Amino acid sequence: MQSLEQLHLSAETQAVLQEAIALTGAPDLFSYLLEVGVRDARQLCRQARRGERERYGALPTSKLVGMKVPEAGHERYRRAVYTLMQWNKTHGPLEQWSITTLSIQKLVGGRKEAINTYLEAYHEEIAEHHRKLDIKPSYNRKAEPITEMITIAEEPTAFPWGKAVALQEDRVSMAGDDVHAT
Protein backbone atom coordinates (compact mmCIF):
# COMPACT_ATOMS: atom_id res chain seq x y z
CA MET A 1 0.00 0.00 0.00
CA GLN A 2 1.28 3.43 -0.88
CA SER A 3 1.70 6.27 1.56
CA LEU A 4 0.74 9.86 0.87
CA GLU A 5 4.39 10.70 0.29
CA GLN A 6 4.72 8.01 -2.41
CA LEU A 7 1.80 9.44 -4.40
CA HIS A 8 3.71 12.60 -5.38
CA LEU A 9 0.91 14.90 -4.27
CA SER A 10 1.32 18.58 -3.62
CA ALA A 11 2.12 19.53 -0.05
CA GLU A 12 -1.31 21.20 0.28
CA THR A 13 -3.16 18.06 -0.92
CA GLN A 14 -1.11 15.85 1.43
CA ALA A 15 -1.88 18.15 4.37
CA VAL A 16 -5.64 18.16 3.62
CA LEU A 17 -5.73 14.37 3.31
CA GLN A 18 -3.70 13.87 6.51
CA GLU A 19 -6.06 16.18 8.41
CA ALA A 20 -9.13 14.41 7.01
CA ILE A 21 -7.72 10.98 7.88
CA ALA A 22 -7.06 12.17 11.43
CA LEU A 23 -10.54 13.74 11.77
CA THR A 24 -12.34 10.60 10.62
CA GLY A 25 -10.17 8.27 12.67
CA ALA A 26 -9.36 6.14 9.65
CA PRO A 27 -6.27 3.98 10.24
CA ASP A 28 -4.76 4.67 6.81
CA LEU A 29 -5.24 6.35 3.44
CA PHE A 30 -6.94 3.34 1.84
CA SER A 31 -9.51 3.04 4.65
CA TYR A 32 -10.22 6.76 4.47
CA LEU A 33 -10.65 6.71 0.68
CA LEU A 34 -12.90 3.66 0.91
CA GLU A 35 -15.10 5.34 3.55
CA VAL A 36 -15.35 8.55 1.52
CA GLY A 37 -15.96 6.62 -1.70
CA VAL A 38 -18.82 4.62 -0.21
CA ARG A 39 -20.42 7.77 1.21
CA ASP A 40 -20.09 9.51 -2.15
CA ALA A 41 -21.48 6.47 -3.98
CA ARG A 42 -24.53 6.40 -1.69
CA GLN A 43 -25.19 10.07 -2.36
CA LEU A 44 -24.87 9.57 -6.12
CA CYS A 45 -27.32 6.65 -5.97
CA ARG A 46 -29.82 8.74 -3.96
CA GLN A 47 -29.55 11.55 -6.48
CA ALA A 48 -30.03 9.12 -9.37
CA ARG A 49 -33.16 7.65 -7.74
CA ARG A 50 -34.49 11.15 -7.11
CA GLY A 51 -33.82 11.97 -10.75
CA GLU A 52 -35.73 8.86 -11.82
CA ARG A 53 -38.72 9.92 -9.70
CA GLU A 54 -38.60 13.35 -11.30
CA ARG A 55 -38.38 11.85 -14.76
CA TYR A 56 -41.42 9.61 -14.25
CA GLY A 57 -43.25 12.41 -12.43
CA ALA A 58 -43.01 14.50 -15.60
CA LEU A 59 -44.61 11.88 -17.88
CA PRO A 60 -48.31 11.80 -18.85
CA THR A 61 -50.33 9.12 -17.06
CA SER A 62 -51.08 7.24 -20.30
CA LYS A 63 -47.33 6.78 -20.89
CA LEU A 64 -46.79 5.52 -17.34
CA VAL A 65 -49.54 2.91 -17.71
CA GLY A 66 -47.65 1.11 -20.45
CA MET A 67 -44.33 1.02 -18.58
CA LYS A 68 -43.27 -2.02 -16.56
CA VAL A 69 -40.44 -0.48 -14.52
CA PRO A 70 -41.02 -0.11 -10.74
CA GLU A 71 -40.53 3.67 -10.80
CA ALA A 72 -43.37 4.10 -13.32
CA GLY A 73 -45.61 1.93 -11.16
CA HIS A 74 -44.72 3.97 -8.09
CA GLU A 75 -45.68 7.16 -9.91
CA ARG A 76 -49.01 5.66 -11.08
CA TYR A 77 -49.85 4.56 -7.53
CA ARG A 78 -48.86 7.95 -6.16
CA ARG A 79 -51.18 9.66 -8.66
CA ALA A 80 -54.02 7.27 -7.84
CA VAL A 81 -53.69 7.78 -4.07
CA TYR A 82 -53.47 11.56 -4.47
CA THR A 83 -56.54 11.58 -6.76
CA LEU A 84 -58.53 9.37 -4.37
CA MET A 85 -57.64 11.58 -1.41
CA GLN A 86 -58.67 14.73 -3.26
CA TRP A 87 -61.90 13.07 -4.41
CA ASN A 88 -62.75 11.89 -0.91
CA LYS A 89 -62.20 15.38 0.55
CA THR A 90 -64.72 16.91 -1.85
CA HIS A 91 -67.43 14.21 -1.86
CA GLY A 92 -69.82 12.79 0.68
CA PRO A 93 -69.73 9.32 2.24
CA LEU A 94 -71.85 7.70 -0.50
CA GLU A 95 -69.31 8.78 -3.13
CA GLN A 96 -66.08 8.30 -1.16
CA TRP A 97 -63.69 5.42 -1.78
CA SER A 98 -61.46 3.50 0.56
CA ILE A 99 -57.88 3.46 -0.72
CA THR A 100 -57.15 -0.22 -1.29
CA THR A 101 -55.08 -2.42 -3.55
CA LEU A 102 -58.10 -3.12 -5.74
CA SER A 103 -59.19 0.53 -6.04
CA ILE A 104 -55.70 1.54 -7.15
CA GLN A 105 -55.39 -1.42 -9.50
CA LYS A 106 -58.69 -0.55 -11.19
CA LEU A 107 -57.63 3.09 -11.64
CA VAL A 108 -54.03 2.71 -12.85
CA GLY A 109 -53.28 -0.99 -13.17
CA GLY A 110 -50.31 -2.74 -11.64
CA ARG A 111 -49.41 -5.93 -9.84
CA LYS A 112 -51.10 -6.49 -6.49
CA GLU A 113 -47.76 -7.18 -4.79
CA ALA A 114 -46.28 -3.88 -6.02
CA ILE A 115 -49.39 -1.92 -5.02
CA ASN A 116 -49.40 -3.59 -1.58
CA THR A 117 -45.75 -2.62 -1.09
CA TYR A 118 -46.59 0.97 -2.00
CA LEU A 119 -49.61 1.03 0.33
CA GLU A 120 -47.52 -0.40 3.19
CA ALA A 121 -44.97 2.37 2.73
CA TYR A 122 -47.73 5.01 3.11
CA HIS A 123 -49.95 3.06 5.50
CA GLU A 124 -49.97 5.69 8.26
CA GLU A 125 -50.91 8.57 5.96
CA ILE A 126 -53.64 6.58 4.25
CA ALA A 127 -55.01 5.31 7.58
CA GLU A 128 -55.06 8.90 8.87
CA HIS A 129 -56.95 10.02 5.73
CA HIS A 130 -59.52 7.23 6.24
CA ARG A 131 -59.82 8.03 9.95
CA LYS A 132 -60.18 11.78 9.42
CA LEU A 133 -62.99 11.32 6.87
CA ASP A 134 -64.40 8.21 8.62
CA ILE A 135 -64.02 6.13 5.44
CA LYS A 136 -64.85 2.45 5.80
CA PRO A 137 -63.75 -0.43 3.51
CA SER A 138 -67.44 -1.05 2.76
CA TYR A 139 -67.53 2.31 0.94
CA ASN A 140 -66.07 0.51 -2.09
CA ARG A 141 -69.23 -1.59 -2.53
CA LYS A 142 -70.95 0.59 -5.08
CA ALA A 143 -73.09 -0.19 -8.11
CA GLU A 144 -71.03 2.21 -10.22
CA PRO A 145 -67.42 1.16 -10.90
CA ILE A 146 -64.65 3.40 -9.57
CA THR A 147 -63.44 4.07 -13.12
CA GLU A 148 -66.77 5.66 -14.02
CA MET A 149 -66.59 8.03 -11.07
CA ILE A 150 -62.89 8.85 -10.85
CA THR A 151 -60.39 9.58 -13.59
CA ILE A 152 -56.67 10.02 -13.05
CA ALA A 153 -55.47 13.22 -14.70
CA GLU A 154 -53.40 12.72 -17.85
CA GLU A 155 -51.04 15.67 -17.53
CA PRO A 156 -48.35 15.60 -14.84
CA THR A 157 -49.00 19.28 -14.09
CA ALA A 158 -52.37 18.27 -12.57
CA PHE A 159 -50.40 17.03 -9.55
CA PRO A 160 -48.52 19.31 -7.13
CA TRP A 161 -45.20 17.57 -7.77
CA GLY A 162 -45.82 17.58 -11.54
CA LYS A 163 -46.02 21.36 -11.49
CA ALA A 164 -42.75 21.52 -9.60
CA VAL A 165 -41.06 19.23 -12.10
CA ALA A 166 -42.48 21.07 -15.12
CA LEU A 167 -41.37 24.44 -13.76
CA GLN A 168 -37.99 23.36 -12.41
CA GLU A 169 -36.82 20.46 -14.55
CA ASP A 170 -33.15 21.18 -13.92
CA ARG A 171 -33.38 20.88 -10.12
CA VAL A 172 -31.90 17.82 -8.51
CA SER A 173 -34.29 17.62 -5.58
CA MET A 174 -37.96 17.04 -6.25
CA ALA A 175 -40.54 19.28 -4.65
CA GLY A 176 -43.54 17.38 -3.38
CA ASP A 177 -41.75 14.31 -1.98
CA ASP A 178 -44.47 14.20 0.66
CA VAL A 179 -47.39 14.08 -1.72
CA HIS A 180 -49.64 12.10 0.56
CA ALA A 181 -49.78 14.69 3.31
CA THR A 182 -53.30 15.96 3.78
My answer on whether 26 and 100 are in the same domain is no
Looking at residue 182, its pLDDT comes to 38
- In this prediction the pTM is 0.64
Full domain range(s) for residue 145: 60-165
What percent of the chain is modeled with pLDDT above 90?
A: 51
pLDDT digits (tens, 9 = 90+) for 104-121: 999 999 999 999 999 999
Q: Give the mean pLDDT of the chain.
A: 84
The C-alpha torsion from 135 through 138 and 139 to 145, rounded to 10°, is 150
Total domain count, the chain: 2
My answer on whether 38 and 93 are in the same domain is no
